[in-house]
């Protein structure tokens, strides 16, 4: 049981490049989330999904897109990376809504945009 | 005013001491309160979860919620070097999918 896995672990991009971060969970969870963590800012929700085929905006969605084509996967895309998107990105999943169930986090992806 | 305020520290204590961490919040609608622990270069993991005012104990950890003062606390008794981590408070409203996180409080327990 791997829990929540994230690919890649590290990435360096140049301004304007695009990339996709992959999150996978093997717990059959309905809810999945993408967060970014920046020094002095804490964890901020980017987008989330309440089930296969659904997505919704979180607190800081600008510059990111997401897709949930399969229940176990949640993809985060950066179409045109900017230095302000340098951050550590965490994926999480839960069986029920955030208020009533534990969120399980992945190990994170460290992204640097030059 | 930020929704959740948490002094980022860092906080250094000798092994065996009591660690006291706290968060204040401004949204009186928050009903569910959590503490997450995050080791260096790892993802956060849920440590404590409470939904009412009062105390909840789990081993060496005690979570305290005071809704009237909009204040939550985490106490770690008999602290160990393995407790060295960043502790994040989080809170939300029933049915909501967004957790409001504090900035995190780095704790170092010195052997």
Q: What is the pLDDT of residues B69-104, one digit of tens each?
A: 999 999 999 999 999 999 999 999 887 888 999 999
The predicted structure's pLDDT at residue B1? 65
Beginning with the edge strand found earlier in the chain, give each strand of the sheet holding A64-67 in spatial order: A4-7, A19-25, A73-78, A64-67
B89: DSSP letter? E
Which of B8, B43, B92 lies at the smallest CB-CB distance from A90? B43
What 3-state DSSP class applies to A84? helix
Mutation site for B-interface testing, chosen from A2, A33, A42, A108 by largest number of B Cβ within 10 Å: A42
Bond prior to A108 in cis (omega within 30° of 0)? no
User: Min CA distance, A70 vs chain B (Å)?
Assistant: 20
The predicted structure's pLDDT at residue B21? 97
Contacts of B95 in chain A (CB under 8 A): 97, 99
Strands (E), A8-108: 10-13, 19-25, 31-38, 42-49, 56-57, 64-67, 73-78, 87-94, 104-105
pLDDT, one tens digit per residue, over A69-113 is 999 999 999 999 999 999 999 999 999 887 778 899 999 999 999
Q: What does the alpha-carbon distance between residue B88 and residue B107 come to, in Å, rounded to a whole number?
A: 11
Neighbours of A92 (CB within 10 A): 26
pLDDT, one tens digit per residue, over B7-42 is 877 899 999 999 999 999 999 999 999 999 999 999
Which residue is it, tokens 């059959």?
A: A28
The predicted structure's pLDDT at residue B2? 76
The predicted structure's pLDDT at residue B97? 81
The predicted structure's pLDDT at residue A71? 96
Beta bridge partner(s), residue A6: A23
pLDDT, one tens digit per residue, over A4-39 is 999 999 999 999 999 999 999 999 999 999 999 998
pLDDT, one tens digit per residue, over B33-74 is 999 999 999 999 999 999 888 899 999 999 999 999 999 999
Residue A41: pLDDT band (50, 70, 90) is: confident
Which of B6, B45, B96 lies at the smallest CB-CB distance from A98? B96
A103, A91 Cβ separation under 8 angstroms: no
pLDDT, one tens digit per residue, over A49-70 is 999 999 999 999 999 999 999 9
């Amino acid at each position: 049981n791997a829990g929540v896995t994230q690919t890649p672990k590290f990435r360096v991009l140049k301004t304007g490049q695009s990339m996709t971060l992959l999150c996978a969970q093997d717990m059959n969870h309905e809810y999945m989330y993408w967060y970014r963590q920046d020094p002095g800012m804490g964890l901020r929700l980017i987008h989330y999904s309440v089930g296969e085929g659904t997505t919704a905006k979180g607190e800081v969605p600008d510059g990111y897109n997401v897709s949930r084509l399969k229940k176990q996967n949640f993809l985060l895309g950066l179409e045109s990376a900017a230095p302000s998107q340098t951050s550590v990105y965490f994926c999480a999943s839960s069986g029920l809504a955030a208020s009533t169930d534990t969120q399980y986090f992945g190990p994170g992806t460290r992204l640097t945009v030059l | 005013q930020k929704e959740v305020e948490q002094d980022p520290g860092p906080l250094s204590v000798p092994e065996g001491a009591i660690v006291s961490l706290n968060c204040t919040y401004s949204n009186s609608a928050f009903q569910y309160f959590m503490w997450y622990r995050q080791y260096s270069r790892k993802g956060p993991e849920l440590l404590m979860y409470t939904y009412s005012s009062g105390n909840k104990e789990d081993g060496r950890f005690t979570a305290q919620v005071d809704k009237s003062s909009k204040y939550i606390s985490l106490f770690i008794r008999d602290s160990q070097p393995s407790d060295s981590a960043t502790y994040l408070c989080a809170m939300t409203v029933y049915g909501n999918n967004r957790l409001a996180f504090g900035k995190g409080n780095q704790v170092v327990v010195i052997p």
